[in-house]
Amino acid sequence: MVAMSGGVDSSVAAALLCDAGHEVVGVTLRLWGGESDSGCCAVSDVDDARRVADALGIEHHVFNLGDDFNRDVVDPYVADHALGRTPNPCIECNRHIKFTRLRYRASALGFATIATGHHARIVERIDGTRRIARAVDASKDQSYVLHMLDQEQLAGLLLPIGHLTKEDVRERAAAMGLRTADKPDSQDVCFITRERGRDDFLRRRIPLTPGRVVDGTGAELGSVEAVEMVTVGQRKGIATAGGGAPRYAVDVDVASATVTVGSAADLLVDETPVLATTWAAGPVPVGTAIAVQTSAHGATEAAIFDGDAVRWIRPHRRVAPGQAVVFYEGDELIGGATAA
């Protein structure tokens, strides 16, 4: 069962599996029933996926998992913002929908494996365990958003395009005459429209609270329109009196409607508390040296795993609560957590 989003990556993933002799069925997930203009959950994407499946000569089905998506992705996204956290809905969609709900549906229908068009690889180690590894195309690597996958999930997963660059993927799609060959990549959260934006989406679901901006001493410097919209590390949209050096949000307290700002140096911390840690193949011992990535395409930084925190070898920029903190050993992903 190939998860076909209607994009070029999953189209080529399905084509490669067909060429390799697998019995392939394409499935597109209908997740968001509201407005969408991101090129991820639109009706046109279902049509693109269906037409690619027709061109490949494979069956295509649409699974409506909208209730699951609302419960496990959209509602927590809204709730996190109400608490002043910064969620990553794409990771939660992978965790709950693509690699849990879809996997269970595939198993119930008798499929041995599922496949996706993620730019990442699966490697098997000498001890027989599997890990996600970075894609060949570093600029498109998506291993970060797959950090929650365990051994059972990895054993039933194929990532057919992880060894290809994006250019290779598009060239193969064009050579096969697939309609998605030149389709732009989806970049945005599928349920947040570019026209209306995050502010409008949240405002229609939760009260947004005007907040005050203070410095580290508590002196009031200005205001924000909605404290729930502020992310740790943010600079834009924070009105402060006077000029001087740039100020960044270093803390967001929704309960008191207060954003504390400071200098770039004030953002640096020696450790990042984490929770909800998951592992690819069992936890590493406390005190293990690891490489840690804190954004989808950021560089890794050296750290020590300390159980309920990551201790940085050099001071590191504060990670917004709710963001993924992902652990690597070289190019291989060993686990991940959420910044507390």
Active-site annotation holds for 18: no
User: Can you give 64-122 as a three-state secondary structure string?
Assistant: ECHHHHHHHHHHHHHHHHHCCCCCCHHHHHHHHHHHHHHHHHHHHCCCCCEECCCCEEE
Task: Give the integer Cα–Cα distance in Å for 24 and 34.
Answer: 30
Catalytic residue among 40, 41, 90, 190: 190
**Other C-beta atoms lying within 10 Å of the C-beta of residue 262:** 17
Q: How far apart are CA 110 and CA 106, in angstroms?
A: 6
Distance CA 340, CA 325 (A): 10
DSSP state of 203: H
The type of residue at 278 is T
CA angle, 139 as apex, 280 and 310 as ends, to 5°?
Answer: 40
With beta carbons less than 8 A apart as the criterion, state whether 54 and 88 touch: no
Question: Do the Cβ atoms of 49 and 58 come closer than 8 Å?
Answer: no
Whether 190 is catalytic: yes
CA angle 147, 149, 151 (to 5 degrees): 135
Which two tokens mark 84?
A: 């002043």
- The greatest distance separating any two alpha carbons of the chain, rounded to the nearest whole angstrom, comes to 68
Active site residue ranges: 93, 190
